Amino acid sequence: MNKRFNFASVTAISLVTLALSSFTTTVFAKSANFTEQQIKQVEHIKEEALKSDLAWDIVESLTTEVGPRMPGTPGDEAGVAWAVAKFNAMGFDKVWTEPATFPKWIRYSESASVVSPSPQKLHITALGGSISTPKDGVEAEVIEFETLADLENAPEDAAKGKIVFINYRMDRHRDGNGYGPAVKARSGGAVAAAKKGAVGYVMRSVSTAHHRFAHTGGSHYKEGVTKIVSSAISNADADQLQRLIALGKPVTININVQAKSMGEGTSYNVIGEITGQEFPEEYVLIGGHLDSWDLGTGALDDGAGVAITMAAAKFATAQEKPKRSVRVVLFAAEEFGLWGAKAYAKAHESELSNIVAAAESDFGADKIWGIESNVDDNSLPVIKEIAQMLESLNVEYIETNAAGGGPDLVPLRPFKVPSFRLAQDGTDYFNYHHTADDTLDKIDPVKLRQNAAVYAVFTYMAANSKTKISGKK
Ligand code: ZN
Ligand code: ZN
C-alpha cells in the first residue's frame, strides 16, 4: 500500500515537472550534439538577449559618436578607433586590426536641375567613384531608357551629346531580390551610356521609397571608355523627369557634381575574439561592415549588423567560455567593393578551414524570419537542431542549404567556408539604403533585440556543438 502510494506521487511530480518544462523550454530529449545543460543555456541566452538593449547601445554609440564612416574619411578612421575601444570595453579576449587598401574617393558637392522646358531643382546624388563635371556642370538634353539592356542594345550613336537617364524601377520584396536587377544600372550605367556617346549619366535611384532622397552606391568606369558623370535622382524626381519627357518636348537638365578620386586609401578590419577553451583555433565568424556611405549615419547599413553581432558574441559567451572561439569581424571598405573582405580572405587563406560557421548581418535591422545554411550534408543534423531552437523566435528553417552569406563572405566562397544566411525582413530596407535618411530612428529596438537573440543562439550552438560544422566538399 505504502509502496503504491509512493509510486503514484513520484509519477505525479514528474508529470508536473514535464508539463512545466514544456512551457518554458523546448523539449529536446534526443539531442545528438548538445547536452541538456547546453540546451538550458540556449534558453537562458534567448531570454537575456530579448531583455537587453546592448545592441541598441552599440549602434546608438556608433551612429552618434562617430556618424558617417565613408572609407578613407576621418569618420572611417574614427570608426576604427571606436570599434577597437568598444571591443576592449566589452571584454573581448583579443582585439586587433588588419589593414585593407582601396581606391579612395571623396564627394564635395552635387546638384541638378531641369533647365528647360520648366526650370526646377532635382534631388540628386553622385554615385561612388564618379568624376566631377566642369565647374558649371554638364548641360544637355535627356534621353530616357527603360533598362540598362535597352541602352546597351541601342544604336551606336543613340545618346550622342546627351545625358542618358535609365528609368528602371526597383521591385519591393521581403528577401530583397529586386536589388540585383536594379543595381546593374548603377554599376554599369555610366560605361554603357558613354559607349553610346553620352556626356552624362543619371538613373532612377535603386530604391523602393516615396521620399525625395537620392540613393548613392558604387559605380564603375572601364579602361578605354570615356568617363562621364555618374549620378542618381530620387524616385519622386525620376517620376517628374519621366512626366516631363512624356510631354514630347526636348528636356534639358544640368548636373553638377564635384568629387575626386584620390589614389589608394588604407582602412582596417577590426576584429574581436572570445577565445575557445577546447579548440581555440576553430572559430565562428560573425560580423558586419564598419564603413558606410557618407550621406546618412549608416545606421541600417551597417551599424545594425555591427551592433547585432558584437552583442550576440557577448550573449553567447556570458556564462561560460565557448568550446570554439567566437570571432566578430567588422569589415572595412565594403561599400567601395568588399576591400576589407578581400584582404581578410587573403590574410587568412591558409587557415580558413578553421571557420565552423560564418554569417554576416548586412540587411538592416528588421526581424530575422529564416535560417539557411550552406554546409556539408554531415553537418545538417546540427543545423536542424539550431533551427529547432530558433523556432520560438519565429525563425523558420530554409532547407535549401545554398546560403550565400552576406556580401563580405563572397571572397570566402571559393574556400567552401560553412556559411549561413540569417534572413532578415528586407521589405523596407531599400527605402533608406545609401541615403541621407539612413539614421538611427529607422531602427526598431524590439526588432533589434530579436536579431541579437537569433545571432546569439546561432553563435552559441555553432561554437559548442559536439559535431564540428564543416563546409561542402
Ligand atoms: Zn551594407
Ligand atoms: Zn551598402
> Which comes out higher in pLDDT, residue 416 or 24?
416
> Are 70 and 115 members of one domain?
no
- Domain membership of residue 300 (yes or no) is yes
Q: First and final CA of the chain: distance in angstroms?
A: 63
Q: Quick one: which ligand is closest to 217's CA?
A: 2
pLDDT of residue 23: 44
Give how many domains the chain has, as a whole number.
Answer: 2
Same domain, 226 and 303: no
Q: How far is the CA of 88 from the centre of ligand 2 (A)?
A: 26
Active-site hit among 139, 144, 273, 334: 334
The enclosing domain of 379 has a CATH number of: 3.40.630.10
What whole-number distance in Å separates Cα of residue 354 and Cα of residue 283?
6
- What does 100-150 look like in DSSP terms, one character per residue? EEEEEEEEEEEEEEEEESS-EEE-EEEPBTPPPPPTT-EEEEEEEESSHHH
The answer to whether the beta carbons of residues 217 and 434 sit under 8 Å apart is yes
State phi, psi for 385 to the nearest 5 degrees. -65, -40
**What is the percent of the chain with per-residue pLDDT over 70, rounded to a whole number?**
94
Is 144 labeled as catalytic in the residue annotation? Answer: no
Nearest ligand for residue 364 CA: 1
Q: Would you say residue 471 lies in a domain? A: no
Angle of helix 304-317 relative to helix 54-61, nearest 10 degrees, comes to 140
**Statement to judge: residues 295 and 404 lie in one domain:** yes
- Model pLDDT, residue 407: 97
Statement: residue 403 has pLDDT above 80: yes
Average of pLDDT values for 272-279?
A: 98
The Å distance, Cα 289 to ligand 2 centre, comes to 9
Residue 297 CA to residue 301 CA, distance in Å, equals 9
| 57 lies in the same domain as 79 | yes
Question: CB within 5 A of ion ligand 2: which residues?
Answer: 301
> What are the b/e assignments for 13-52, b being 16+ CB within 10 Å?
eeeeeeeeeeeebbebeebebbeeebbebbbebbebbeeb
CA angle 406-168-166, nearest 5°?
Answer: 110
Cβ–Cβ under 8 Å, residues 90 and 260:
no
* Banded model confidence at residue 29, pLDDT cuts 50, 70, 90: low
For 137-167, the pLDDT digits (tens) are: 999 999 999 999 999 999 999 999 999 999 9
Residue 401 lies in a domain: yes
pLDDT of residue 20: 44
267 located within any domain: no
**pLDDT mean over 241-264:** 98
**34-92 pLDDT, tens per residue?**
999 999 999 999 999 999 999 999 999 999 999 999 999 999 999 999 999 999 999 99
Same domain? For 211 and 248 the reply is: yes
Distance 138 CA to ligand 2 centre (A): 28
Pair (281, 388) in one structural domain: yes
Residues with CB under 5 A from ligand 1 (ion): 301-302, 362
Mean pLDDT of the region 449-453? 98
Q: Is residue 348 part of a domain?
A: yes
Q: Cα of 358 to ligand 2 centre, how many Å? A: 19
Residue 178 sits in the same domain as residue 57: no
Reported as a pLDDT band with limits 50, 70 and 90, residue 31 is: confident
pTM: 0.93
pLDDT digits (tens, 9 = 90+) for 102-124: 999 999 999 999 999 999 999 99
Domain that holds residue 357: 7-93+275-464
Could you tell me if residue 161 is inside a domain? yes
* Residue 244 sits in the same domain as residue 281: no
> What is the 68 CA–ligand 2 centroid distance (Å)?
12
Please name which ligand lies nearest the alpha carbon of 306: 1
CA-closest candidate to residue 360, choices 240, 230, 250, 459: 459
Write the pLDDT tens digit of every residue in 221-233: 999 999 999 999 9
> Does residue 469 fall inside a structural domain?
no
Nearest ligand, CA 186: 2
Distance CA 160, CA 194 (A): 9
Q: Among candidates 292, 374, 375, 370, which has minimal Cα distance to 330? A: 292
If asked whether residues 89 and 219 sit together in one domain, one would say no
Size (the chain), residues: 473
Q: Average model confidence (pLDDT) for the chain? A: 94
Joined grid coordinates for residue 159 = 545618346
15-27 per-position pLDDT tens digit? 444 444 444 445 5
Give per-residue pLDDT as tens, 324-337: 999 999 999 999 99
Q: Is residue 473 part of a domain?
A: no
How remote is the CA of residue 11 from the centroid of ligand 2, in Å?
58
Q: How far is CA 180 from CA 235, 263, 277, in A?
A: 18, 29, 42
Q: From the CA of 360, how far away is ligand 1's center (Å)?
A: 10
- Of the candidates 262, 291, 310, which is a domain's last residue? 262
Are 114 and 231 found together in one domain?
yes
pLDDT tops 90 at residue 10: no
Question: What average pLDDT does this structure show over 392-418?
Answer: 96
Q: Cα separation of 402 and 377, whole Å?
A: 12
pLDDT at 7 over 90: no
Q: Is the peptide bond before 302 cis (omega within 30 degrees of 0)?
A: yes
In the chain, the amino acid numbered 178 is G
Q: Are residues 110 and 88 in the same domain?
A: no
Same-domain check for residues 403 and 281 = yes
Kindly state the cell numbers that stand for 160: 550622342
Query: Ligand 2 centre and the CA of 197: distance in Å?
Result: 30
Stated as kind and residue range, the H or E segment containing 260 is strand 252-274
Q: Which of 262, 297, 320 is the last residue of a domain?
A: 262
State the CATH number of the domain containing residue 167.
3.50.30.30
Residue 338 Cα to ligand 1 middle (Å): 10
Task: Using the 3D structure, point to which of 262, 284, 309 is the last residue of a domain.
Answer: 262
Q: 13 pLDDT band (50/70/90 cuts)?
A: very low
Ligand positioned closest to the Cα atom of 303: 1
pLDDT grade for 239, boundaries at 50, 70 and 90: very high
Report pLDDT for 405. 86
Is-contact 405 152, C-beta < 8 A?
Answer: no
